[in-house]
Amino acid sequence: MVTLKDIAAKAGVSTATVSYVINNTGNIGSETRKKVLDVMNELDYKPNHVARSLKVKRTRTIGVIVEDITIFNSPEIIDGINSYAEKYGFSILLTNLRIFKRIGNKFNEMDKCKDLIESAVNELISKQVDGIIYIGVHVRDVTKLVPKNHDKPIIYTYCYTTSETDYTVNFEDQLATYEMTKYLIELGHRKLALITGLNDSFLTHQRFAGYNRALVENQLLLNPVYIKTGDWEYESGYKLGLELLQLKDKPTAIIAMNDLMAGGVLEACRELKVNVPDDISVVGFDDRECALYYLPQLTTIRLPLSKMGEQSMKKMVDILNNKREIENISRLKCELIKRNSVAANKG
Amino acid sequence: MVTLKDIAAKAGVSTATVSYVINNTGNIGSETRKKVLDVMNELDYKPNHVARSLKVKRTRTIGVIVEDITIFNSPEIIDGINSYAEKYGFSILLTNLRIFKRIGNKFNEMDKCKDLIESAVNELISKQVDGIIYIGVHVRDVTKLVPKNHDKPIIYTYCYTTSETDYTVNFEDQLATYEMTKYLIELGHRKLALITGLNDSFLTHQRFAGYNRALVENQLLLNPVYIKTGDWEYESGYKLGLELLQLKDKPTAIIAMNDLMAGGVLEACRELKVNVPDDISVVGFDDRECALYYLPQLTTIRLPLSKMGEQSMKKMVDILNNKREIENISRLKCELIKRNSVAANKG
DNA sequence: TTGTAAGCGTTATCAA
DNA sequence: TTGATAACGCTTACAA
């Protein structure tokens, strides 16, 4: 391994000089600079960042804790983080909690993971990361899950914190649901069924609010018969879809709070020979890969996952640069993706 | 920040002693040990791994370079790496090349990425990773892409190297295609069409060999009319599917070399009102998420992605532990996933 | 413009 | 069983 000292020796200068030319600090004569550069090239010198980090007390490394990298939202978010990090010369130390393999989607058992998360954080702190980005599998409050026994900034994304000193990056799902509902209303739909996620979910409430606002603004009454409580899974979409389709007064459109449940609805329609979109419109939320493969292709809402990653990393960089006026909470816009599962109401 | 020195001072011992108790090296009296441990707890001491790494010249950190984390195979492989790394106390420094965003799937333009890869490797080397795992987006030779201007071990997965000094972990796709073809033959199919990937692809040749072997072993003649060259994309499956279905002597089964093209075939069948699986069987390869959402659900071959990650990391750990007899090439078994797109031939 | 040297937080050798 | 201390590779006052 060739060190800075080796370069200095071979170039006949001091280590300080070499350091100066590496970092472009200090005033180095162009003669000397060239000589040093040549030797560096000749010996294929690669600076030792761990030595440097020890000295300067910064690693330019961000710890990224992802609750489960195999969940659909994670790769895109990480990709966004990478794209911004790359531009600013940061590296990513990745910790994958793998919580899905550990506890499935029983988020109430998350306390089992507290130790896991704590040791993940401690490990990152020991590795001297400059900050931590925490990526959830589901938007919910994780404040008490992530220990704050250190002074590194934490950015939460696809989850949130109530801590005043940390930051969260999420998406405007209330607005998105509002726009989706409005879109259907403008297409003449008046009987809008809603299949929600689990009742204790933050997302469920957000999206319900968006749905409701669109109804209210259009003087439509919320019909409780049209509101079904699902659990985010395909099966529940199927089951509740069947129920909705067997109502005397059938809805003309069904809004499922995610693509999985929308898929279930589509299956229910197929089974009951209800044509989508001619007889009924159905929409989802998330724009997961499956939405493109459903028959018909699903109209849905695309999450700004990559942007969430970028924004998280941007916040981090801003914080590390002591930029002022960094907002604690960012909400990024979703995008309405129009495909073939929606048609104008011809009732 | 509390350092080992602080602990030593407060506990009234030397730094050496503290280091001994932290690392369980040396013989420390239980009195002293307890005292030190107490102080560590009291001050919430977190060892500084970068200082440690500088001294011991190991970081227990593996650099993972992934060509594109948003491609379907990557998250599972990374997950496998994590699961093994966690057990053995290794961290992952993740570099995402994002080549899909950069060059799409024009792998012939990969040379554009050479600089990118080189700087990624250099960055990891500078951060003093103990080794590198390289995850491709497509199984192909990447030997000349990844510089070897260092002495760290490299493991290639979902791609391969011809370098004698490095390692590759892949899957048995020839065997898998053989088994799939055999499976169809045993169901009475004799007219087995094949939609291949691009002709210059290693995978295409592997899978073709598996297909061919099954034919030969069953005394079936390879009918060139049934062999179509696709490009891995949905569209080509659709187009070639149409061609196959319009043949006078239609095949009774179509094997697509990936799920995407199989999806295209399914669409072609739908369009021509050919019932799957009653009129024709169709199978894919990869077991991507979409395979589960197709109608009918696709019989396909599941890649051992997670195991590939684990195996890659296991090899790495073995190498770092100087274990002997590490094989250069591992091929992991795939799994035949039987779903609803295949039926016995009733011709 | 360049060099000297202390020090970052550890580990590990050697001595006590 | 414990302690002094040099060293890991680098940065950065400060001096020259």
Residue A37 in this model has a pLDDT that exceeds 80: yes
Inter-chain CB proximity A94 and B94 less than 8 Å: yes
Q: Each residue of A84-114: pLDDT tens digit?
A: 999 999 999 999 999 998 887 776 677 778 9
Sign of the four-CA dihedral B231, B232, B237, B243 = positive
Residues from chain A contacting residue B263 (CB–CB below 8 Å):
293
> Closest residue of B to A67, CA-based?
B79
Residue B347 in this model has a pLDDT that exceeds 70: no
Q: Is the CB of B275 under 7 A from strand C?
A: no
Task: State what percent of residues in chain A have pLDDT above 90.
Answer: 93
Mean pLDDT score, B111-133: 94
Å: B61 CA to D13 C1': 33
Residue A145 to chain B, least CA–CA distance (Å): 18
Three state DSSP letters for chain B? CCCHHHHHHHHCCCHHHHHHHHHCCCCCCHHHHHHHHHHHHHCCCCCCHHHHHHHHCCCCEEEEEECCCCCCHHHHHHHHHHHHHHHCCCEEEEEECCHHHHHCCCHHHHHHHHHHHHHHHHHHHHCCCCEEEEECCCCCECCCCCCCCCCCCEEEECCECCCCCCEEEEECHHHHHHHHHHHHHHCCCCCEEEEECCCCCHHHHHHHHHHHHHHHHCCCCCCHHHEEECCCCHHHHHHHHHHHHCCCCCCCEEEECCHHHHHHHHHHHHHCCCCCCCCCEEECCECCHHHHHCCCCCEEEECCHHHHHHHHHHHHHHHHCCCCCCCCEEEECCEEECCCCCCCCCC
Residues from chain B contacting residue A23 (CB–CB below 8 Å):
none
Q: Each residue of B36-87: pLDDT tens digit?
A: 999 999 999 999 999 999 999 999 999 999 999 999 999 999 999 999 999 9
Nucleotides of D under 7 A from a protein CB: 1-13
Residues 6 or more apart in contact with residue B215 via CB below 8 angstroms: B181, B192, B221, B222
Mean pLDDT score, B206-230: 97
Q: Is the CB of B58 under 7 A from strand C?
A: no
Mean pLDDT score, A140-165: 95
Residue A203 in this model has a pLDDT that exceeds 70: yes
Task: State what percent of residues in chain B have pLDDT above 90.
Answer: 93
* pTM (whole model) above 0.85: yes
CB atoms within 10 A of CB A87: 12
Task: Give the pLDDT of residue B106.
Answer: 73
Task: Give the pLDDT of residue B109.
Answer: 75
Residue A303 to chain B, least CA–CA distance (Å): 15
Task: Give the pLDDT of residue A89.
Answer: 96
CA distance A119 to B40: 16
Residue B230 in this model has a pLDDT that exceeds 90: yes
Yes or no: say if A221 and A215 are a contact pair by the CB < 8 Å rule.
yes
For residue A303, the SS3 value is coil
